[in-house]
Chains A and B, each alone.
Chain A
Amino acid sequence: MRGRVLALEPFVAPAAPQPALHELFWAFLLIGCTAFGGAMFWAQRVLVRRRRWLRPEEFADLLGLCQFLPGPNVINLATVLGEGYRGLPGVAAALMGLLIVPMLIVTAIAALYARFGGLGLVHGVFAGIASSAAGLALALAAHVGRPVLRRRPGASLPVITAAFAAVALLRWPVAWTLFALAPVSIALMWRRRP
């Protein structure tokens, strides 16, 4: 039955676990509630190290799939695993587990922010945190960019620069930028593939 996780086909183990719907729900609830910042780090901890549903190489393969798809990686992960283990009901269990509690917490935080975010001391605290978070965003771009620039500087630097200039400076919509640059970039990578 484990073979239903098509993404994992080559790695299927005969005695692989087959989590029930409620187990899927609770595992993703735990991931959703602990996932500060990067959810995939926590997903790896829960699914590979604690529950042992997946081996590290299986998780790495799933990560490849989730990064290939648009949208939040951890949503894709919950969908793919839920589908693989229990079909559509599994998808529903995993997504509800992942989303419900954080959505309630975040909505409460949003209400508090709407009420108090502009007040003196809180305003100051947010000014600090917002500047710090902008720095994190910069570091994230650098982190993702470094290995690409190192491996294929000739193909990637012009594309990175063009995407930045189009969106940050010319204020193009992201959709135009993506549709204009992605085919060029994919063609460059296709020509230089190993």
Chain B
Amino acid sequence: MTADAVAALARLFASVSLLAFGGTQTVLPEIHREAVVLSRWITDRQFADLYALSQAEPGPNSFIATLIGYQAGGVAGAFVSTMAICLPPAVLAYFVARVWGRIRATAWRAAIQAGLTPVMVGLMAASAYILIRAADHSAAAFALTAATAALAYTTNINPLWAFAVAGALGALGIF
């Protein structure tokens, strides 16, 4: 079962890695669909927890792959998932970097980048929607989400401070 899970993890994270224009944030819905809905490696609640962890720990945000990989396939799952989400983009970057000097100033390059941005924004909004549905099950939880969003949107506060306060409130059993 674990070997199957590790193979499925490799497939999932390698395929989303090359779709992740704008970073892992834009492919969270796909990761959610596979990990929570189809393969049931983790619950909705765990998905929200692991996303929060991926924002609170060192390393690139894409280490949510490591966290989910561990839940589904132990240490091997964590390692394979990390490599699967990191290496395909690295190979692509290696080759594109060699021609970047030539394509950078072209009109089609600018149009592709400008055209991808609204799609990315829509996908990021969908990620937020899925995370909110997974994390918030009470009025107090929705209020905390709204307060953090407003604070992060209007100020440059380090998210770790928001997490410290939110964790302390959570320890009191508010949510």
Contacts and interface: CB of A to CB of B under 8 A. Distances in A.
Interface of A: 6-7, 9, 32-39, 61, 64-76, 78-80, 83-84, 91, 95, 98-99, 101-103, 105-107, 109-111, 113-114, 117, 121, 124-145, 148, 152, 155-157, 159-164, 166-168, 171, 173-175, 177-178, 181-182, 185-190, 193
A65 B147 contact: no
19 contacts: A33-B58, A64-B113, A70-B21, A71-B86, A80-B100, A106-B78, A121-B171, A126-B49, A128-B144, A133-B135, A134-B128, A134-B145, A138-B149, A141-B127, A156-B118, A159-B122, A173-B33, A181-B122, A193-B107
Q: Is the interface of A mostly helix, strand, loop or mixed?
A: helix
Contacts of B170: 124-129, 131
Contacts of A185: 115-116, 118-119
A6 B60 contact: no
A106 B54 CA distance: 8
Given A131-B166, A136-B148, A141-B121, A103 B79 contact: yes
Most buried by B among A84, A95, A135: A135
Contacts of B115: 182, 185-190
B97 to A, nearest CB: 4
Contacts of B171: 121, 124-125, 128
Contacts of B16: 174
Contacts of A162: 122
B7 interface: no
Given A135-B144, A186-B112, A71 B59 contact: no
B145 A132 contact: yes
A83 B86 contact: no
Contacts of A117: 46, 49
A69 B60 CA distance: 16
A74 B115 CA distance: 22
Contacts of B112: 68, 186
A149 to B, nearest CB: 8
B8 interface: no
Contact of A134 (B25, B135, B169): B135
Contact of A163 (B50, B108, B123, B172): B123
Most buried by B among A34, A125, A162, A188: A125
